[in-house]
């Protein structure tokens, strides 16, 4: 990579928002570190980026030792420069809390929250050298709680709180920590089924005429998050409306959620 080239390290780059963001930053001249636990998805994303402008590493974000290896590999290629960590890897598992499998609960907690914390710690030395920033991918599920998404919401509220706390803590290093908070985005998570239901989340959203935004919109907002002054970056007008409603009309918001997301 060129010595003046900016760099971004993307987790969950094998699909969805991670892939779209990696493509966008590469198109705009950045060197991109691609990481994912899914080797096939990682290879597919790598094939979409110019050779010589990216590096790929396998990474299970739950594994602290794997984080250390991935950051070391990235640092060797970029002369220890990481302008942005895009802390994006996540999983979506839902259902009534009392009916969820214990393994699914642990997976959501470990990837969506602990994995993000691991990244904030592991990447700090390189981000600090670059006076860069960390973008944690939260969700509108970190603004209001939704039925059948209790554990997922808990992790996203956690990421939101983590982001706000670290933006203050890491300011002593000259590092910003911000979040991306998407509404429902066109990713594979929408195809997950909860419990024994024959319907997936996409079916429910379509039935209720709930907007689903393209991943390209999330990638553009990730670009804004890498350059802007705010702490939280909402994706989609519905996300902005939800944040407003959750702040000023929480009871109305809660009643509306019950109507749209709870099966009869």
What total number of domains does the chain contain? 1
Is residue 167 included in any domain, yes or no?
yes
User: What pLDDT is attached to residue 100?
Assistant: 95
In this predicted structure, the answer to whether residue 94 has a pLDDT above a threshold of 90 is no
* Residue 150: its H or E element: helix 150-169
Is residue 1 included in any domain, yes or no?
no
User: What pLDDT is attached to residue 35?
Assistant: 98
User: Domain range holding 210?
Assistant: 7-261
User: What pLDDT is attached to residue 55?
Assistant: 97
Q: Residue 170 catalytic?
A: no
Is residue 212 included in any domain, yes or no?
yes
Is residue 231 included in any domain, yes or no?
yes
User: What pLDDT is attached to residue 30?
Assistant: 97
How confident is the model over 181-240, as pLDDT tens digits? Answer: 998 776 666 556 555 555 556 556 555 566 677 889 999 999 999 999 999 999 988 777
Describe the strand order of the beta sheet including 31-36 as a list of residue ranges.
Answer: 54-58, 31-36, 7-10, 84-87, 133-137, 176-182, 232-235
Is residue 2 included in any domain, yes or no?
no
127: CATH: 3.40.50.720
How confident is the model over 129-188, as pLDDT tens digits? Answer: 999 999 999 998 888 888 888 999 999 999 999 999 999 999 999 999 999 999 877 666
Is residue 159 included in any domain, yes or no?
yes
- What predicted TM-score, i.e. pTM, was given to this entire model? 0.89
Is residue 55 included in any domain, yes or no?
yes
Q: Which two tokens stand for residue 104?
A: 């699914």
How confident is the model over 25-76, as pLDDT tens digits? Answer: 999 999 999 999 999 999 999 999 999 999 999 999 999 999 999 999 999 9
């Amino acid at each position: 990579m060129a010595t003046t080239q900016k760099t971004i390290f993307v987790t969950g780059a094998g699909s969805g928002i991670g892939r779209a963001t990696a493509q966008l930053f590469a198109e705009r001249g950045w060197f991109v570190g691609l990481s994912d636990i899914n080797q096939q998805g990682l290879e597919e994303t790598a094939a979409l980026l110019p050779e010589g402008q990216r590096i790929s590493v396998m990474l299970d974000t739950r594994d602290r030792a794997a984080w250390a290896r991935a950051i070391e590999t990235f640092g060797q290629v970029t002369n220890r420069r990481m302008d942005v960590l895009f802390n994006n890897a996540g999983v979506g598992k839902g259902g009534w809390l009392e009916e969820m499998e214990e393994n699914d609960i642990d997976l959501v907690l470990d990837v969506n929250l602990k994995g993000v914390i691991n990244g904030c710690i592991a990447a700090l030395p390189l981000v600090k050298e670059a006076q860069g920033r960390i973008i944690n991918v939260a969700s509108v599920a970190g603004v209001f709680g939704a039925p059948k998404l209790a554990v997922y919401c808990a992790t996203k509220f956690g990421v939101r709180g983590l982001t706000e706390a670290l933006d203050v803590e890491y300011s002593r290093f000259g590092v910003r920590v911000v979040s991306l908070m998407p509404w429902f985005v066109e990713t594979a998570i929408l195809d997950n089924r909860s419990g024994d239901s024959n319907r997936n989340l996409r079916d429910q959203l379509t039935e209720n005429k709930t907007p689903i935004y393209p991943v390209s919109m999330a990638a553009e907002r990730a670009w804004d998050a890498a350059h802007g002054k705010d702490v939280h970056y909402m994706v989609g007008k519905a996300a902005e409306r939800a944040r407003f409603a959750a702040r000023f009309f929480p009871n109305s918001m809660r009643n509306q959620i019950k109507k749209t997301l709870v099966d009869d």
